[in-house]
Amino acid sequence: SASSPRFLGDSGRVGLAKSTRRDVAVQAKGSWLPGLQSPAYLDGSLAGDNGFDPLALAEDPEDLRWFVQAELVNGRWAMLGVAGMLIPEVLTKAGLLNAPEWYDAGKETYFASSSTLFVIEFILFHYVEIRRWQDIKNPGSVNQDPIFKSYSLPPHECGYPGSVFNPLNFAPTLENKEKELANGRLAMLAFLGFLVQHNVTGKGPFENLQQHLADPWHNTIIQTISGQ
């Protein structure tokens, strides 16, 4: 009640102040730019929601639901991709591995021709993506494996299937979702940066970093763009 702090003394007032600060924090979450009003459909309830949608792409609820899942899966692929581009280069430079640069990996000879591998991957990814799309449209509809009947997933939130897809048993809490999205967004930017970096310098990210650290005043983006 409004009179509760009178009976609770100072501790009651402290508790009331903490509660007020929490409420303000929740209300302010949806603002990516101070003073800018967030769209009504981005109310801060989604993980990673800072009210950023200047083109109003997610105004339709169905589009918003799709974009949430699209960002999640692309962020995960980007994290895997960035690790796959960077770690082999680091280990090769350290003499612990003998792997091609990421931009030369497609030139390698594998157990099958590149065209055969492309067709196989296309079919497999088509199946997986169709199943993922079905789960978005009708959550829980693909929990049962259609081929191996003894395998099934427990009830789960869309995008967080758990079970064999979560071997470390991370709980899909809001905090963990926020961390995953933040790292996924960073990885997507890093992936784009690696592409641009190679297009400009013809080298991998780790080699570029080594050159910059060896002479930080002369090996920068300014000298690279100017051709010096």
Question: Binding site, residues?
Answer: 50, 52-53, 55, 71, 74, 76-77, 102, 129, 131-132, 153, 179-180, 183, 185, 197, 212, 220-221
Bind-site residues for all-trans-violaxanthin: 53, 55, 102
The amino acid occupying position 184 is G
DSSP the chain: -TTHHHHHTHHHHHHHHHHHHHHHHHHHTT-SSTTPPPPTT--S-STT--S--TT-TT-SHHHHHHHHHHHHHHHHHHHHHHHHHHHHHHHHHTTS-----GGGGGGS--SS-HHHHHHHHHHHHHHHHHHHHHHHHSTTTT-B-SSSTT-BPPS-BTTB--GGG-TT-----HHHHHHHHHHHHHHHHHHHHHHHHHHHHSS-HHHHHHHHHHSTTTSSHHHHHHT-
Report the candidate in 3, 5, 30 with the shortest Cα–Cα distance to residue 18.
5
Token couple for 57: 């792409």
Bind-site residues for chlorophyll a: 50, 52, 71, 74, 76, 129, 132, 179-180, 183, 185, 197, 212, 220-221
The whole-angstrom separation of Cα 190 and Cα 81 is 10
Bind-site residues for chlorophyll b: 76-77, 131, 153, 185
